[in-house]
Amino acid sequence: MEAKFHLALPCRDIEETKKFYMEIIGTNLGRNTEKWLDIDLFGNQLTFTQAGNFSFDFKSYKLDDYILPAFHFGVIIPNDSWEELYGRLFQMDLEVTTKATFMQGKKGEHLSFFVQDPNGYMLEFKSFKNVNEVFTL
């Protein structure tokens, strides 16, 4: 079954969040008001609601030789889009992690990088070597 995800998150500043996702990531704006907005994140619905200050305890975990944030979300995109986005974001004054290959030589091998949005959320972008192995053990 093909399905799109919807994720709703609090945000500190609607305008900063809108600017980051539209101007920096390059997404489209969906329905919106002064207090909330929908972002079209590669065909998935990401909703931000103005919430003021909030905090999360960003614990981490280890995968291969990398320490990764336990709380994060992201999208899986084709390699050409992944390379273009990584190259563009890496040139900006953002906290973008170095690209990494996870599960190298194994089922599920993929490229990945993280960028932090204005709310402190870690956003991951993945590109699988073989898209048919996204859920393969």
Task: Please write the tens of the pLDDT for every residue from 115-134.
Answer: 999 988 889 999 999 989 98
Which tokens hold the place of 60?
A: 């981490």
Is this model's pTM higher than 0.95 or not? no
Task: Please write the tens of the pLDDT for every residue from 2-47.
Answer: 768 888 888 889 999 999 999 999 999 998 988 889 999 999 999 8
Q: Do 43 and 106 sit in the same domain of this protein? A: no
- Write down which residue in 27, 53, 79 finishes a domain: 53
* Structural domain count, the chain: 2
Q: Do 82 and 31 sit in the same domain of this protein? A: no
Task: Please write the tens of the pLDDT for every residue from 89-106.
Answer: 999 988 898 899 988 998
Range of the domain at 35: 1-53
Residue 137 CB partners (closer than 8 Å, separation 6+): 107
What per-residue confidence (pLDDT) applies to 55?
Answer: 66
Residue 73 near residue 119 (C-beta atoms within 8 A): no
Residue predicted with more confidence, 136 or 81: 81
CATH number at residue 41: 3.10.180.10
Residue 18 near residue 59 (C-beta atoms within 8 A): no
What per-residue confidence (pLDDT) applies to 1?
Answer: 58
